[in-house]
Structure 1
């Protein structure tokens, strides 16, 4: 079977250079083969775009930013991963392409640096998105500009751990902060969600930045933020502040998860329908398959929250506790003062919206977070 090489020119006879592949700059592999099959870079990129974004070939225009075709951040992540696989999966990436299109990526790949005989894929950006990991790790949004130091906000999603749930919030925080979003995964990327403490250690180990950070967690993500704060304290890294959003407070943990219809063992159909109403702002953007996967991971996350041990230590870290004015879970509001068990310097605010205010009222929530960051920065 003929091997395929990606050559940085158009398809057709003019693109074929009759020479040994070791002498041709930009080929995917570096060994000779008399059976050559060439494809242009643009052809490969277009095929991947059609595959990932699920659009007809005729509707894919080379000069239109790919973010116009992607439904969410995860589409862009998947496209990036496939492109890296196609173009040798090199470790060192070329210069980032802001608002990439098929045309700009083709040009970048054709003229970019080459190592080990391979064309390097550019880093795709979704509002400056870089550093993609298939396992537990970080997705960066709004990376810092050279020569500037800005607050670093680490965001922790809830339930299934979809990074794109903070996409709207990051758009607003990015005006003043660098933002990274945690991506959860099992140890082999296929099994059940790991314990919160184990995930926290992995995420801290993968954090390559020594700046003081602000941890922001929603629901399950708030438990992750608490665990990461403890882990960072052990390692001597400063946590500037913590934002807890729409999360089950420590004093409600056993009451809510272990003995009620909200526990991970609950199979009540009425409860599931009610949950679907609460999470509708997120679920409407998911496919049927995605929703099925979401609820599996949701129950795994609830099980991890049931078993999480907050401990008895109260960390001297400023904490902003945010609840929705129309929060559907009454215990989130009723027991919110118990966050003082975990963080000694707690501030409490309400924001418009229900449990999903991070999605439905992203700008208002982000403004509250930015005010909190400004206050603790001035105090320090």
Structure 2
């Protein structure tokens, strides 16, 4: 049975849906929204049905209070996927979204309905903890960090009214990812593909390679020119890597 996505606040359809292809569920970065992944749907539209999560506290959900823990975000997204058992599901997350995707994947495997695979981008492995406390600092520190990462259009950061709207969700997201602690236990069995910008100062290639330790399945690492938001300038290349990963994840197992 397919989930009726028309009634879901959490999940958006991106692009044309065909109903008989693998699903790719995209999870945004801190401060990000589902629309960030629209370019991906343009490049993948012929092979994959693309969806994106919309966290509370932004865009059409801006009147809802944002969630402040990775666990709660993962639980709520996991609840949306309970009927997504009719077709292969691949999870894809960038930065904070990678950790949420990992935790959603763990929950799906616990339920006996594993994802076909997980694609992570721009995030060190969950077990590599780095002490961070940006969410406790002032607005200007938060804005400076986002500006440095180049993940948000510069014009938005100069618009006081827009800033007032996005800062609560941005701070909540930073609180969620900075207070996240990996819980040792059963790791994923599904394959994992990790993507990273070669010059990403927030997630080094070695730290992203450590995702290998979080699956008993196949692991692949792909690097791209650029920094933390290498995707913004590389959507066709990123889409090609994701298409190859999805094809690998969903290929029939030959005897």
**Pair 1:238-2:114 in alignment:** yes
Cα distance change on mapping 1:269 and 1:196 into 2, 3 Å: closer
Q: Unpaired runs of 5+ in structure 1?
A: 1-129
Which string of whole-angstrom CA distances, capped at 9 and with x for unpartnered residues, describes residues 82-119 of structure 1? xxxxxxxxxxxxxxxxxxxxxxxxxxxxxxxxxxxxxx
**Correspondence for 2:207 among 331, 335, 348:** 335
Q: Cα offset for 1:271?
A: 7.2
Cα distance change on mapping 1:201 and 1:275 into 2, 3 Å: closer
Question: Contact 1:281 / 1:359 at 8 angstroms: preserved in 2?
Answer: no
Question: 3-state SS of the aligned residue for 1:181?
Answer: strand
Which residue in 1 is equivalent to 2:53? 182
Question: Contact 1:325 / 1:354 at 8 angstroms: preserved in 2?
Answer: yes
Q: Unpaired runs of 5+ in structure 2?
A: none
Which residue in 1 is equivalent to 2:22? 151
**For this pair of structures, how many residues does the alignment match?**
242
Question: Contact 1:212 / 1:237 at 8 angstroms: preserved in 2?
Answer: no
**Pair 1:217-2:89 in alignment:** no
Which whole-Å CA distance do the structure 2 matches of 1:233 and 1:289 have between them?
42
**Correspondence for 2:43 among 172, 178, 182:** 172
Which whole-Å CA distance do the structure 1 matches of 2:62 and 2:15 have between them?
29
Which string of whole-angstrom CA distances, capped at 9 and with x for unpartnered residues, describes residues 170-202 of structure 1? 111222000110011169953232422222222
**Pair 1:316-2:189 in alignment:** yes
Question: Contact 1:314 / 1:342 at 8 angstroms: preserved in 2?
Answer: yes
Which whole-Å CA distance do the structure 2 matches of 1:192 and 1:309 have between them?
19
Q: Cα offset for 1:221?
A: 0.6
Question: Contact 1:156 / 1:181 at 8 angstroms: preserved in 2?
Answer: yes
Question: 3-state SS of the aligned residue for 1:349?
Answer: strand
Q: Cα offset for 1:169?
A: 1.1
User: What TM-score does the superposition give when structure 1 sets the normalisation length?
Assistant: 0.57
Cα distance change on mapping 1:284 and 1:188 into 2, 3 Å: closer
Question: 3-state SS of the aligned residue for 1:216?
Answer: strand
RMSD of equivalent CA atoms: 2.8
User: What TM-score does the superposition give when structure 2 sets the normalisation length?
Assistant: 0.82
**Pair 1:294-2:169 in alignment:** no
Q: Cα offset for 1:366?
A: 0.8
**Pair 1:248-2:124 in alignment:** yes
Q: Cα offset for 1:252?
A: 3.5
- Structure with larger Rg: 1
Which string of whole-angstrom CA distances, capped at 9 and with x for unpartnered residues, describes residues 308-341 of structure 1? 2332222111111100123232x43342232123
Cα distance change on mapping 1:160 and 1:360 into 2, 3 Å: same
Question: Contact 1:153 / 1:178 at 8 angstroms: preserved in 2?
Answer: yes
Which whole-Å CA distance do the structure 2 matches of 1:176 and 1:192 have between them?
33
Which residue in 1 is equivalent to 2:240? 367
